[in-house]
Chains A and B, each alone.
Chain A
Amino acid sequence: MLSKINKITILVGNKCNYKCSHCLFSSNVKDYVDDFSTLISEINLRDVNKLLFVGGEPTLYIKEINKILSKIKNLGKKEIIITTNGWFASDISKTEKTLKSFIKLNSVQMSYDRFHMEFSTLKKLKTLYNACLNLKKDFSVILSISNIKDLIILKKLNDIGSFRVGIQKVYRMGSAFKNQIYFKETLNKNFILRKCPLIKNNEIIYIRGKGFSFCCSNLFFSRESLVVYKNINFLMRSELFNILKKYNFREMANKYKINIKYNNVNNECDICEEIWKNQKL
């Protein structure tokens, strides 16, 4: 057995039926052709605990997801999670039918915030929550915020039921950058004293048609060739992966003599990009 991986996040396709103004990806981008054979063999080679399917909208790709799941060994021991916009939750029976159509599904995370509210409703969230309760699936909400006042939605969520809500800042990327709706507060300086959370937590991303990445943030968009690899072995042998594994963000900046201008960055991923965008590796 090769190295243990806690989680692989699988970007199964770009298609989405919502057009959220803060999204990282454009749903107009055509999906690359991918038979997912490399992904499946990597999952079967390694000890992977969790598979998180994201998009686009993963419920538009149930056929592809089931194709992947059907070929995974020891599927029973793995936790299968989706992050959905909940578009299908118009009534309880339709919602349960959609959830049951996955070969295996343990957890459902629904994205709900002021950006998704333009397309979705609290009623759908409630329906999806109830369907998950009925089917004994874990349910949680992902709430993206571009300012603190966006947290007000928490009150409405609290009235619906008892579940977890994960809060995340909207970062300066994709449509959020284009539309200037990212979280504009300055960097929490405590965070530069830690290592990249993704690498520290043994998490990897798979991007349909492209391969495996250890970055899902700025470098993925600005220097894809530096962070995307055809297989996990190449990824783990790459210079940048090993540097990120060894050093925290401040140590990296010192090592590569980068003067971090704190006013220009609002998260550690911005720092990482500043360090690496012009470095030759």
Chain B
Amino acid sequence: MKLRKNDKVITAFLVSLGLFTISQAKNYVVNLSKKDKTLIASLSNLNNIKISNTQGNTYSLAVTEDTGTKKKTC
């Protein structure tokens, strides 16, 4: 699957957040509209806030603590 520049940016962003594996992210990106791609790509360079995944993946009342790391692996 060949990705355009914006697609690559979005894929890397979603993978870095621990939301998808690379192949999942690629599959997701190709189905996005151009408008959504532009919107999501613009999130990858926000420079004020520091975005992380709370604990790799797990959602729960117990893990609602941001670790402050850009990429968190568990």
Contact = CB atoms under 8 A, between A and B. Distances in A.
Interface of A: 7, 9, 11, 24-25, 50, 52, 54, 81, 83, 109, 111, 140-142, 144, 148-149, 151-152, 154-155, 157-171, 185-186, 188-191, 194, 197-198, 200-201, 203, 205, 216-217, 267-269
Interface residues of B, number: 37
B1 interface: no
A7 B40 CA distance: 34
B62 A198 contact: yes
Contacts of B53: 166-168
A149 B66 contact: no
Contacts of A189: 21
Interface of A, secondary structure class, is mixed
A268 B57 contact: yes
A83 B19 CA distance: 22
- Among B51, B61, B65, residue most surrounded by chain A Cβ atoms (within 10 Å): B61
A202 to B, nearest CB: 12
A9 B43 contact: no
A188 B19 contact: yes
23 contacts: A7-B62, A24-B61, A54-B61, A83-B64, A109-B64, A148-B19, A149-B40, A154-B43, A154-B46, A158-B46, A158-B47, A158-B48, A161-B48, A164-B49, A164-B51, A166-B67, A168-B64, A169-B19, A197-B58, A197-B74, A216-B61, A217-B60, A267-B59
